[in-house]
Structure 1
């Protein structure tokens, strides 16, 4: 019996020993964590960093604020400098010493010119980097949306209600013509507003989104005279014009690494995408509804139309935008007004009756609508 009890105690010690060791290790781990937490450095004051970024706290005599170059929200004109969020992502990857060197002793002609007047101490740099780290993680809030039309709509609704109540019940205003005038004007404006807003559903005229890279058609197609089909080669034979790959961009940017306006920052994104086999996530601008068929080849190759007829004066756009509303009415009007080059285009040789009318002088021109361009099934099939 004693032997059995002794064996049991020995076995119990073997079981409990690893458990005891584990408890000790966990306790020590907790102590180390507590000590680390105590030794952790001070937290940056995000509000001070934000005030430094926006220039509310001076950063040096005669120096420009960070936001004057690195905009938080984009506008309708191009800003060649990296945005605030782009700079924040770069700053978030640096330690304080590297951030200080990057800011106060920069390389590059533009940064040297602007940053030379900065006079920031280590504490201010610490707070500024803290704000940028937070900005890189959270991004920026959306720009406030104008609600002027909605306010006018609601105010007119309230005014018409007041006029109607006074006309039927209270009768404070003796002249009924005033009530009628307010109600008629208000209803007319509201109906017009609703009609226009309904028509505009699905249309994106003047749409000008931010792109992952600040690509300027004015620089490429305008200043450097690069043909549209060099980059959008699919437009000649396909439904879509196609978006060039980073590899195509590198045909030039293998050599050109410093942009006249943007410096190295934007071109470096193209190089990074090419070297790391990453897609550049361009934002599509011209987008038709799913129930509409449109072929670039039909217009560019067969119809010999110029890109500018639909896309606007692209060679003078730093920021590409949707020039026209691309509505059905806009397309139909173009088909009614556009002459088709019948004589010099083999695509149309099967239209014998129309060729005969041209030869005999019955017609002096053929419009796109004359050969079925405005038939419903041409685009909706």
Structure 2
């Protein structure tokens, strides 16, 4: 009896010590965390900063939300303002005083005009910068996808399955013609989707990616009348048209540092690449399969073709896109209908029989296909 009682007391004492130890540990952890937080200083409320960025909290009478200019996702039309992620990366590297000056007393005509209505106190600026710093670390979430052909394909498959189940098993709908129409329509539409997807493999018509610098062909080739070969000088005598180096861009931008549409931000990227000897990683738009040979020199120099015939009216494009599908059929059709300038081009002197036909009136024109442009080995060799 005494032994049992002493054992119970000993176990009770152990439990008491255990709870006391836990209390001490939790208290120490709380004090340490509080001390660390005080040492670190106040932390920004990222949610408040996000609401400020999206304009859910007023930022000044008549002012626009940040996201209305600094978009999260790419658009089909040129947005001359830096994207949200670009601004986030810049803001994350600033201290609060610099960020305040950058936002409320900006330099540059474009920012002065937009930012003049912003009225934010230091606390709001602190939260806003905190949100931008987090956005810089996490990046932008993937844009939600909309209903596409795959979902329609699967929906039709589901409807046809239900129709077949009702025909053979449930037999709820007495009119079999309804099931037959659903199955015929579903199979026809699915075959059409599959055929078009197979045809479009490797094609990127209307491809219009975001570029590391907002470069406008309309401003350069259209408004300022810069010749295509000034920037793409290799097109006249090379396989590829080539891309201009930052040094070539600086021929103009050594002086022009403030764009009429984009302000200073985009041109500053060119200057930075030039001064720090960095490559500008442009995203390729027009890209033929590896098994296809294409020479710009053959078309631009020999064939005297204009850039717009393949690339569209680039002088009217702010954002460059792939105008044509660049399929084999598109190339062959062009070769069949394009007249070759035989008389004023020394390249074609060797085609004596065709020159004779022109002189005798047997032919009134020569197409590219007539001189072997559509031979398989011209492009696939």
Q: 1 CA distance for matches of 2:310 and 2:146?
A: 29
Query: In structure 1, what is the equivalent of residue 202 of structure 2?
Result: 202
Deviation, structure 1 residue 117: 1.6
Q: Which moved more, 1:151-160 or 1:45-54?
A: 151-160
SS of the equivalent of 2:90 reads helix
Q: Which moved more, 1:239-248 or 1:95-104?
A: 95-104
Q: 1 CA distance for matches of 2:56 and 2:281?
A: 35
Query: In structure 2, what is the equivalent of residue 216 of structure 1?
Result: 216
Deviation per residue, 1:321-363 (Å, 9 max, x gap): 0001111111111111111111111111111111111111111
Query: In structure 2, what is the equivalent of residue 27 of structure 1?
Result: none
SS of the equivalent of 2:326 reads coil
Deviation, structure 1 residue 175: 2.8
**2:235 paired with 1:245:** no
**2:319 paired with 1:350:** no
Deviation, structure 1 residue 178: 2.1
Deviation, structure 1 residue 46: 1.0
**2:237 paired with 1:228:** no
Deviation, structure 1 residue 253: 0.8
**2:285 paired with 1:317:** no
2:339/2:366 contact within 8 Å kept: yes
Q: 1 CA distance for matches of 2:179 and 2:120?
A: 65
SS of the equivalent of 2:218 reads helix
Alignment of 1:83-94 (within 5 A): 83-94=83-94
Q: Which moved more, 1:156-165 or 1:180-189?
A: 156-165
- Structure 1's consecutive aligned runs of 4 or more residues displaced over 4 angstroms after TM superposition are 32-38
SS of the equivalent of 1:74 reads coil
Deviation per residue, 1:164-209 (Å, 9 max, x gap): 2222333333333222211111100000001111211211111111
Alignment of 1:133-212 (within 5 A): 133-212=133-212
Deviation, structure 1 residue 39: 1.1
Deviation per residue, 1:228-273 (Å, 9 max, x gap): 0000000000000000000000111111111111111111111111
**Structure 2: where are the runs of 5+ without partners?**
1-31
Query: In structure 1, what is the equivalent of residue 74 of structure 2?
Result: 74
Query: In structure 2, what is the equivalent of residue 52 of structure 1?
Result: 52
With the length of structure 2 as denominator, give the TM-score of the two structures. Answer: 0.89
Q: How many residues are aligned here?
A: 350
RMSD: 1.6
**Structure 1: where are the runs of 5+ without partners?**
1-31
SS of the equivalent of 2:208 reads coil
Q: 1 CA distance for matches of 2:148 and 2:379?
A: 37
Deviation per residue, 1:203-233 (Å, 9 max, x gap): 1111111111110000000000000000000
2:110/2:262 contact within 8 Å kept: no
**2:258 paired with 1:258:** yes
**2:331 paired with 1:331:** yes
Query: In structure 1, what is the equivalent of residue 130 of structure 2?
Result: 130
Query: In structure 2, what is the equivalent of residue 6 of structure 1?
Result: none
